[in-house]
Chain A
Amino acid sequence: MSKLEKAALGEPATVAPTDADDAFLSVRDLRIHFNTDDGLVKSVDGVSFDVQRGKTLGIVGESGSGKSVTSLGVMGLHRSANARVSGEVWLDGQELIGAEPDEVRRLRGRKMAMIFQDPLSAMHPYYSVGHQIIEAYRVHHKVSKKVARQRAVEMLDRVGIPEPDKRVDGYPHEFSGGMRQRAMIAMSLVNNPELLIADEPTTALDVTVQAQILDLIRDLQKEFGSAVIMITHDLGVVAEMADDLLVMYGGRCVERGPAEKVFSEPRHPYTWGLLGSMPRLDREETDRLVPIKGSPPSLINVPSGCAFNPRCPYADIPKDNVTRTVRPELTEVGSQHWAACHMTQEQRERIWTEEIAPKL
């Protein structure tokens, strides 16, 4: 904690500074940097977003774009001596970055919970699944083991595990991949969290199992009205789950807006690139994909100016080499829709409608 850069807050404000009044989670200018032998890694460099209760925010980006680090930052899981966290995270009116670790620990697991990508490494192999769920419940509720066990069985049943009263004593390795993911969802939901962060919850699963799990998360969200952050690299998954979308590149948000808008009228060349590089089942067969040239930037040497400029086919359109020298800020391009690009609105609109959209 001592290493944490406390946000410059005069006093613990009681009202969260959000532009949307009903935001349950508000993240403002979150920065997470790591000191390494090679230099300062700016994993997350000024990200802001809001999530409302009952809504789902999708965060997409390539590996190393900072999406997982963002979510761990919200959960307050960067406690290593080398992590430098700054900015503000407001959860239901409470600021977390400057809060005491004990305070955050009380919230973690109860008010906010996380589903990890790989349940085999996220669960302890030595303890039974039931034991781990019971532990999670008893940390936050003063109840007897028996009651907690009852609750664990109930949760396993709720997530669709057959014979939950028997499987509660099973060990993680005895579960199949889909079952393990369900058990982990049960574990994270045991305290009825109001914020659920799912970090690539289906990446390790087959499509048929993925469909089951996404369905489950959707149902549970409806039932509990929780806010969900869905982190993934699969645009298909976010399109299905998310109400709002945040596209990350090189530790920064390059586009943010309602999911429908971002898919139908994306306003950042990187988003165009993502849409163009994936083959789609719902479209006519295309001869060639349109990949993004080059590879994602190193977070130690993020390109100056717009981080995407070395890979952007339109980097030369704005005058005076501005893409290589000035970092673009998020500007509003539509209602609740922001993008960070130096091209003018008209230029982007023209390129999207004339060059990109017809090829998708």
Chain B
Amino acid sequence: MSDEKAVTIPAQSGGAALTKDAAPGDTLLKVTGLQKHFPIRKGLLQRQVGAVRAVDGLDFEVRAGETLGVVGESGCGKSTMGRLITRLLEPTGGKVEFEGKDITHLGVGGMRPLRRDVQMIFQDPYSSLNPRHTIGTIVGAPFKLQGVAPEGGIKKEVQRLLSVVGLNPEHYNRYPHEFSGGQRQRIGIARALALNPKLVVADEPVSALDVSIQAQVVNLLDDLQEELGLTYVIIAHDLSVVRHVSDRIAVMYLGKIVELADRESLYSAPMHPYTKALMSAVPIPDPKRKNAKSERILLKGDVPSPISPPSGCRFHTRCWKATEICRTTEPQLLELKPGQRVACHHPENFEDQAPQDTVLLTVAKEAAELVADEVLAESAETSAAVAAQVEATEAAEASEATETAAESEPEDSAPEAAEESESTEPDTAETDTTAPKATDK
């Protein structure tokens, strides 16, 4: 397949920086502080009275050859994000860089050469294909729009693409309504692949399909990535599908990324309470676990409105660990563990970031009632254990450096971390944290 890259694609006009291919692992797309606010206008003069803050400050990068999965509930801004990085929407703020080139505010003409490298697969295979065009016209359109003349003519190339995605090339002259949902999605994929893109943004590529067909399309995306070295950004709400396809995963909540981590770390030890709740909510197809459902974390109520998002941490209104600091200070997306970035003051499976803050908000107390005691106990235990571990290593380093420091009163994290843990689960926390207290500098 890779030899097909040699099809006669005329030299890129504009953006000369785009000609060299990014090596696998290099940053292909970099997004900093990306924002999109949709204005709400009212009245005769159509004055702006507010804004839907669909995407409100995203920072992430996509590396060449990887698959970045984006998950979140409906209304969290994941689709808007997809449309921003493909520049189908104009960002309100922030910066989008593709292969080192700033494309945030490029005009239609400026974007045109780039459209070849960035393609999109849409969710609904029924509305994303023009019902009055044949499959040949639909899949061949990118060539005509970009003025590309593939070797052997457009028709031959389109038929090759159709066979690549597992459709019969003889269906060239059929119309979309003659195909089933899964086949239509394959047509959408063929169209996206026509110009050998570098980055493919897929917005819920399988959620409209039946389970058995879903697997076919997921496998197809997998194969194509291997053969063509594609980079994917896959937006989906199904956490099991996202785990299957992604290398790294970003979890979004109300226009923000709350956690961005490698697949392994995210699914084995999620740090953000929201990630944990989201994952615990996925029904597991195993009736034997029916009785083990106490581990589920039920979130109260609905996602707040993105018109006036909550202050501080946006999740604090539904979080069972929220304290005063969560209400007042917005947590930054920090790399707490290698390859795992989290925006939380009181992360799960890690050392508390704001241990001095121990008093739960009233909403948090209510929310905690919905969380099984075992889950709280376990989380307090692991956090305390991690805190102990971190303290122990720090203490070891410190004791080597100076002996005098050992006399001074323990002033920060460790003892208070213990307090925090105690407030949720006294027994387990105490045993775990007494050790670091003693060894503390």
A282/B212 contact (C-beta < 8 A), A208-B278, A211-B296, A239-B290 known: no
User: Digit string of B269-311 for contact with A (CB within 8 Å is 1, else 0)?
Assistant: 0000000011111111111111001001011011000000000
Q: How far is the CA of A210 from the CA of B210 in the complex (A)?
A: 19
Contact (Cβ within 8 A) B286 A263:
yes
User: Digit string of A19-55 for contact with B (CB within 8 Å is 1, else 0)?
Assistant: 0000000000000000000000000000000000000
Q: How far is the CA of A235 from the CA of B286 in the complex (A)?
A: 9
Residues of chain A with a CB closer than 8 A to B277's CB: 208
Contact (Cβ within 8 A) A177 B283:
no
Query: Which 3 residue pairs of A and B lie closest in terms of their CB atoms, listed nearest first?
Result: A236-B283, A291-B215, A277-B215
Asked whether any CB of chain B lies closer than 8 Å to the CB of A332, the reply is: no
Asked whether any CB of chain B lies closer than 8 Å to the CB of A214, the reply is: yes
Contact partner of A207 among B212, B239, B263, CB < 8 A? Answer: B239
Contact (Cβ within 8 A) B211 A233:
yes
Contact partner of A278 among B182, B237, B285, B299, CB < 8 A? Answer: B285
Q: How far is the CA of A285 from the CA of B213 in the complex (A)?
A: 20
Asked whether any CB of chain B lies closer than 8 Å to the CB of A349, the reply is: no
Closest to B71 in A: A207
Contact partner of B282 among A212, A281, A285, CB < 8 A? Answer: A281
Closest chain-A Cβ to B295's Cβ sits at a distance in Å of 11
Asked whether any CB of chain B lies closer than 8 Å to the CB of A288, the reply is: yes
Residues of chain B with a CB closer than 8 A to A293's CB: 216
Q: How far is the CA of A85 from the CA of B218 in the complex (A)?
A: 39
Contact (Cβ within 8 A) B302 A210:
no
Which parts of B175-227 form the interface with A (CB within 8 Å)? 180, 182-183, 210-216, 218-219, 222
A215/B285 contact (C-beta < 8 A), A280-B240, A281-B240 known: no
Contact (Cβ within 8 A) B218 A289:
yes
Contact (Cβ within 8 A) A295 B183:
yes
Contact partner of A215 among B237, B289, B298, CB < 8 A? Answer: B298
Contact (Cβ within 8 A) A291 B213:
yes
Closest chain-B Cβ to A280's Cβ sits at a distance in Å of 6
Closest chain-B Cβ to A266's Cβ sits at a distance in Å of 11
Closest to A279 in B: B244
Asked whether any CB of chain B lies closer than 8 Å to the CB of A179, the reply is: yes
Residues of chain A with a CB closer than 8 A to B286's CB: 239, 263, 282
Contact partner of A281 among B73, B222, B284, CB < 8 A? Answer: B284
Asked whether any CB of chain A lies closer than 8 Å to the CB of B38, the reply is: no
Contact (Cβ within 8 A) A278 B302:
no
Asked whether any CB of chain B lies closer than 8 Å to the CB of A302, the reply is: no
User: Digit string of B79-100 for contact with A (CB within 8 Å is 1, else 0)?
Assistant: 0000000000000000000000
Residues of chain A with a CB closer than 8 A to B215's CB: 276-278, 289-292
Q: How far is the CA of A309 from the CA of B282 in the complex (A)?
A: 32
Closest chain-B Cβ to A303's Cβ sits at a distance in Å of 16
A binding-site residues for B, Cβ under 8 Å: 62-63, 162, 176-179, 206-212, 214-215, 233-240, 242, 259-260, 263-264, 273-282, 285-286, 288-293, 295-296
Residues of chain B with a CB closer than 8 A to A206's CB: 73-74, 237
B binding-site residues for A, Cβ under 8 Å: 73-74, 180, 182-183, 210-216, 218-219, 222, 237, 239-241, 243-244, 263, 267, 277-290, 293, 296, 298-299, 301-302
Residues of chain A with a CB closer than 8 A to B211's CB: 62, 233, 235, 274, 277-278
Residues of chain A with a CB closer than 8 A to B239's CB: 207, 281
Closest chain-B Cβ to A337's Cβ sits at a distance in Å of 13
Contact (Cβ within 8 A) A296 B285:
no
A240/B302 contact (C-beta < 8 A), A281-B239, A295-B183 known: no
Residues of chain A with a CB closer than 8 A to B218's CB: 279, 289
Contact (Cβ within 8 A) A178 B302:
yes
Contact partner of A277 among B214, B284, B290, B298, CB < 8 A? Answer: B214
Contact (Cβ within 8 A) A207 B302:
no
Residues of chain A with a CB closer than 8 A to B243's CB: 279, 281, 285
Contact (Cβ within 8 A) B283 A288:
no
Residues of chain B with a CB closer than 8 A to A288's CB: 219, 222
Contact partner of B284 among A236, A276, A292, CB < 8 A? Answer: A236
> A278-B214, A291-B214 are known contacts; what are 6 more A-B pairs with Cβ within 8 Å?
A207-B237, A235-B285, A240-B283, A278-B215, A280-B240, A288-B222
Residues of chain A with a CB closer than 8 A to B241's CB: 279
Closest to A162 in B: B301
Contact (Cβ within 8 A) B180 A295:
yes
Contact (Cβ within 8 A) B240 A274:
no
Residues of chain B with a CB closer than 8 A to A237's CB: 283
Residues of chain B with a CB closer than 8 A to A240's CB: 283-284, 287, 290, 293
Closest chain-B Cβ to A291's Cβ sits at a distance in Å of 3
Q: How far is the CA of A215 from the CA of B281 in the complex (A)?
A: 11
Contact (Cβ within 8 A) B285 A177:
no
Contact (Cβ within 8 A) B302 A236:
no
In this complex, the member of A208, A210, A278 whose beta carbon has the largest number of chain B beta carbons within 10 angstroms is A208
A289/B219 contact (C-beta < 8 A), A211-B296, A278-B211 known: yes
Contact partner of A211 among B222, B267, B298, CB < 8 A? Answer: B298
Closest chain-A Cβ to B277's Cβ sits at a distance in Å of 6
Contact (Cβ within 8 A) A177 B74:
yes
A239/B283 contact (C-beta < 8 A), A281-B267, A290-B215, A291-B216 known: yes
Contact (Cβ within 8 A) A207 B287:
no
Q: How far is the CA of A282 from the CA of B282 in the complex (A)?
A: 10
Q: How far is the CA of A76 from the CA of B21 in the complex (A)?
A: 62
